[in-house]
Amino acid sequence: MRNPKEAAHKATGHTQRGQCSKRLSILDAAAEVFCRQGFAGASIDEIAVEACVSRQTIYNHYREKETLFTAVVEDVMNRTNASLFSILATFPDKPGNLEDDLSAFAVRLTKNCLCNQDGQFLRKLVQSEGERYPQLFEGWRKHGPGKIGTALAALFARLSYGGVLQMEDFDLAARQFLALVNADLQMITLFGESPTDEQLESAAHNAVRTFLRAYSTPATPLSAATPLLKATVG
């Protein structure tokens, strides 16, 4: 769902607030319905009801169903990419405790990008409609996971040159880091549920521990083998 602050979603200089809020209502409702029903299963009437707007209003703003769909996808992608970009900057330059820093970073990433409503929407829609709209999701491929990947790879490169990590392929390590974080989460998100904060933290903790066991230098000891939180997924 959208942040109320982003009501500053600018359009033409002369647009009134009412007009703008209709647009946002439509986009939000359409995202909800498209995500729940898929493109073919979603009906304009259902979106209109969900947005508390007449069907004709939707057609005033978007020429046809497909136009609305692409607008929704682009909107969600922009929001997710912005959120992603701001989160990527949050990793501390001089890490205190690497394990804690990586865990907190992973939690922020999953909570605000990968596993929130927008993230679910994108994953689901890319999966179900990706083949039909390759050019549309090309941007997601490049600027979504691609950007996370390269940014993470850069981070790991920095940590490797700093002597804290030890690896041969930074891109691979980035993919594996994300995969490990998702390991405990995918069964939850696959069914459209949102993981709780405890689940996010447990998943991040488990992932980072294994990641560091594989990639930290011998001089960088892990936290002692305390009893791990067992992530009860089912």
Partner DNA sequence: GTCAAAATAGACACTATTGTCTAAAACGTC
Partner DNA sequence: GACGTTTTAGACAATAGTGTCTATTTTGAC
73 contact partners, CB below 8 Å, separation of at least 6: 122, 125, 133, 136, 137, 140
Q: Which region, judged by CB under 8 A, interacts with its own copies, from 62-70, 95-103, 152-160, 223-231? A: 223-231
> Which class for 92: exposed (0-12), middle (13-18), buried (19 or more C-beta within 10 A)?
exposed
Min dist CB 190 to DNA, Å, is 25
63 binds, among its own copies, DNA, none (CB under 5 to 8 A by kind): DNA
18 binds, among DNA, its own copies, none (CB under 5 to 8 A by kind): DNA
> Which class for 106: exposed (0-12), middle (13-18), buried (19 or more C-beta within 10 A)?
buried
Which is closer to DNA, CB of 19 or CB of 120? Answer: 19
Residue list 159-218, contact with DNA (CB under 7 A): none
Which is closer to DNA, CB of 17 or CB of 213? Answer: 17
CA dist 183 and 190 (Å) reads 12
Q: Which of 7, 11, 15, 41 binds its own copies (CB under 8 A)?
A: 41
DSSP H helices in 89-144: 98-109, 117-129, 134-143
Min dist CB 70 to DNA, Å, is 12
Contact status: 153 vs its own copies (CB under 8 A): no
CA–CA distance from 94 to each of 84, 89, 91, 153 (Å)? 21, 13, 9, 17
- Residue 77 tokens read as 């992608």
CA dist 221 and 198 (Å) reads 25
Q: Which region, judged by CB under 7 A, interacts with DNA, from 54-62, 99-107, 189-197, 206-214? A: 54-62
Contact status: 132 vs DNA (CB under 7 A): no
Contact status: 64 vs DNA (CB under 7 A): yes
Contact status: 128 vs its own copies (CB under 8 A): yes
CA neighbor of 88 nearest in space, from 37, 153, 34, 140: 153
112 binds, among DNA, its own copies, none (CB under 5 to 8 A by kind): none
Binding site for DNA (CB under 7 A): 14-19, 22, 42-46, 52-57, 59-61, 63-66
